[in-house]
A and B are shown apart, each in its own frame.
Chain A
Amino acid sequence: MTDVLPGERRATLSAAKKSSRIPRLRELALLPALAVLLIIGAVVNESFLTASNLISILGASAALALVVLGESLVLISGKFDLSLESTVGIAPAVGALLVIPSGFGTEWPAFAGIAVILVVGAVIGVFNGFLIVKLKLNAFIVTLAMLIILRGLLVGATEGKTLFDMPEAFFTLATATFIGLPISVWLALILYGLVGFGLRYHRVGRSLYAIGGNREAARAAGINTDRISWLVFVVAGVLAALGGLVLTGYVGAINASQGDGMIFQVFAAAVIGGISLDGGRGTMFGALTGVLLLAVVENLLTLAQVPSFWTQAVFGGIILVSLMLARFTGGKPQT
Chain B
Amino acid sequence: MTTVVEAVDVGRRYGPTVALADVSLTVAAGESHALVGRNGAGKSTLVTILTGLSKPDTGVVTFGGEPAPPLGDREGWRSKVACVYQHSTVIPHLTVAENLFINRQPTRRGVISWSRLRRDARELLDSWRVAVEVDQPAGELSVEDRQLVEIARALSYGARFIVLDEPTAQLDSDAIGRLFVRMRELQDAGVTFLFISHHLQEVYEVCQAVTVLRDARQVLTAPVAEVTRTQLIDAMTGESGGLTVVDAASRDRVAADAADVLTVAGLSGDAFTDISFGLRRGEVLGIAGSNASGKHQVAETIYGLRAPTAGVVEVGGRSLPRGDVKAALRAGIGCVPRDRHHQGLVLGMSIADNSAMSILDRMGSAGLAAPGARAAVATKAIAEYDIVAAGADQPTDALSGGNQQKVVLARALASDPSVLVLINPTAGVDVKSKEALLGQVERVRAEGKAVLIVSDELDDLRPCDRVLVLRAGTLVAEHEAGWSVGDLVADIEGVASDD
Contact = CB atoms under 8 A, between A and B. Distances in A.
A221 interface: yes
B111 A201 contact: yes
Contacts of A216: 89
Interface stretch (A2-10, A160-168, A206-214, A298-306): A206-214
Contacts of B89: 214, 216-217, 220
Given A210-B103, A218-B102, A223-B102, A280 B93 contact: yes
A203 B104 CA distance: 8
A216 B102 CA distance: 13
Contacts of A20: 95, 118, 135
A213 B95 CA distance: 12
A68 B465 CA distance: 64
A281 interface: yes
Interface in A195-230: 200-203, 206-207, 209-210, 213-214, 216-218, 220-223
A12 B133 CA distance: 18
B81 to A, nearest CB: 13
A19 interface: yes
B91 A213 contact: yes
A201 B115 CA distance: 12
B92 A203 contact: no
Contact of B110 (A200, A202, A206, A218): A202
A157 B350 CA distance: 49
B92 A213 contact: yes
Given A214-B92, A280-B91, A221 B102 contact: yes
Contact of B90 (A201, A214, A276, A281): A214
Given A19-B133, A206-B98, A218 B91 contact: yes
Given A201-B112, A217-B89, A223 B94 contact: no
Most buried by B among A221, A222, A280: A221
Interface in B42-96: 74-75, 78, 88-95
B111 A202 contact: yes
Contacts of B358: none
Interface residues of B, number: 26
Contact of A202 (B95, B98, B112): B112
Contacts of B78: 222
B136 interface: yes
Interface string B89-131: 1111111001000111101001110100010000000000000
Contacts of B102: 206-207, 210, 217-218, 221, 223
A218 B133 CA distance: 22
Most buried by B among A23, A213, A223, A280: A213
A209 B105 CA distance: 14
A55 to B, nearest CB: 33
Nearest to A209: B94
A206 B93 contact: no
Contacts of B110: 202
B91 A203 contact: no
Interface in A19-47: 19-20, 23
A1 to B, nearest CB: 30
Which DSSP category, helix, strand, loop or mixed, fits chain A's interface?
helix
Contacts of A207: 102-103
Interface string A171-207: 0000000000000000000000000000011110011
A195 B94 CA distance: 18
B84 to A, nearest CB: 12
A223 B111 CA distance: 17
Which DSSP category, helix, strand, loop or mixed, fits chain B's interface?
loop
Interface in A241-290: 276, 280-281
A2 to B, nearest CB: 31
Given A19-B133, A209-B91, A209-B93, A222 B74 contact: yes
Contacts of A280: 91-94
A214 B91 CA distance: 5
A210 B94 contact: yes
Contact of B112 (A23, A206, A213, A217): A206
Nearest to A279: B93
Contacts of A202: 110-112
Given A203-B105, A206-B98, A210-B103, A281 B93 contact: yes
Contacts of A220: 74, 89
Contacts of B104: 222
A282 to B, nearest CB: 9
B112 A200 contact: yes
B70 to A, nearest CB: 15
B300 to A, nearest CB: 22
B121 to A, nearest CB: 12
A78 to B, nearest CB: 11
A23 B91 CA distance: 16
A220 B107 CA distance: 21
A5 to B, nearest CB: 22
A19 B107 contact: no
A220 B99 CA distance: 12
Contacts of A206: 94, 98, 102-103, 105, 112
A213 B94 contact: yes
Contacts of B107: 203
A213 B139 CA distance: 10
Nearest to A222: B103
A19 B93 contact: no
A219 B107 CA distance: 21
A23 B93 CA distance: 10
Contact of A203 (B74, B94, B95, B112): B112
A222 B107 CA distance: 17
Nearest to B118: A20
Contacts of A19: 133, 135-136
Contacts of B91: 209-210, 213-214, 217-218, 280
A217 B103 CA distance: 11
Contacts of B118: 20
A-B CB proximity, top 8 nearest: A213-B91, A20-B135, A221-B102, A214-B91, A201-B111, A217-B89, A221-B103, A280-B93
5 contacts: A23-B137, A201-B112, A202-B110, A210-B94, A217-B102
Interface of B: 74-75, 78, 88-95, 98, 102-105, 107, 110-112, 114, 118, 133, 135-137
Given A209-B94, A276-B93, 13 more contacts: A201-B111, A203-B112, A206-B98, A206-B102, A207-B102, A213-B93, A214-B91, A216-B89, A217-B89, A217-B90, A218-B91, A222-B78, A222-B104
Interface of A: 19-20, 23, 200-203, 206-207, 209-210, 213-214, 216-218, 220-223, 276, 280-281
